[in-house]
Amino acid sequence: MAVNRVPVLKRCRSLDLDPTFLGYDKKSKRAPRAGRKMKEYGLQLREKQKAKFIYGVLEKPFRNYYDRADRMKGQTGANLLVILETRLDNVVFRMGFARTRREARQVVLHKFITVNGKVVNVPSYLIKAGDVIEVKDAAKNIQRFKDIAEITAARLVPEWLDVNKESFKGTIKELPSRDIIDVPVDEMLIVELYSK
């Protein structure tokens, strides 16, 4: 599997992205790079790279998500962001069961997460409305999850999720709509890029 070894804060700076969207504290004191005037293609490519970087998706799966969003009813760009937002690793991050999206991916891969009572270790698993996501009972007493609970206690949970942080359990009330997804990505530029 391909691994991106570029430091997270360096990549955030190159994409003009606030690291808090990835779950990282703002440690960098350096000012953002002075922006060169970009052409249309450059802006479109940067938005696509930003979305891929935020959600931790490589090019081929991202293209598959785009094709799936294009076949769905409604706006393709909004559908794409809804699909990315409903990936299991992202939902685990949003519920506060992990500090960062990368850690959420690791938590899922290590079989700590159950969906509707069954262990799921596929970070790209797409959740549906009504699904119950929970940390396995055996893992709830691990010190790692106690530390995560302390750190993420103040994090706001999106309104489309219902979470009980004490029992590490959450329910998907409904699928998110584009207007409540707080990711700083202009999805229309991604659609323009792929529709060329």
Question: Could you tell me the pTM of the whole model?
Answer: 0.85
Domains detected in the chain: 8-84+184-194 (1.10.1050.10), 87-172 (3.10.290.10)
Question: Of all residues in the chain, what percent are helix, strand and coil, respectively (each to 5)?
Answer: 45, 10, 45
Give tens-digit pLDDT for 30-55.
555 555 677 899 899 999 999 999 99
Confidence tier at 187 by pLDDT (50, 70, 90): very high
**Residues sharing a CB contact under 8 Å with residue 139, sequence separation 6 or more, in sequence order:** 112, 145
The reported pLDDT for the residue numbered 26 is: 64
Segment 121-137 shows an average pLDDT of 94
The percentage of the chain sitting over the pLDDT mark of 90, rounded to a whole number, equals 60
Q: How confident is the model at residue 73 (pLDDT cuts 50, 70, 90)?
A: very high
Look at residue 20 and tell me whether its pLDDT is greater than 80. Answer: no
Contact 151, 158 (CB under 8 A): no
Confidence of residue 63 (pLDDT cuts 50, 70, 90): very high
At what angle are helices 88-95 and 76-85 packed, to 10 degrees?
70
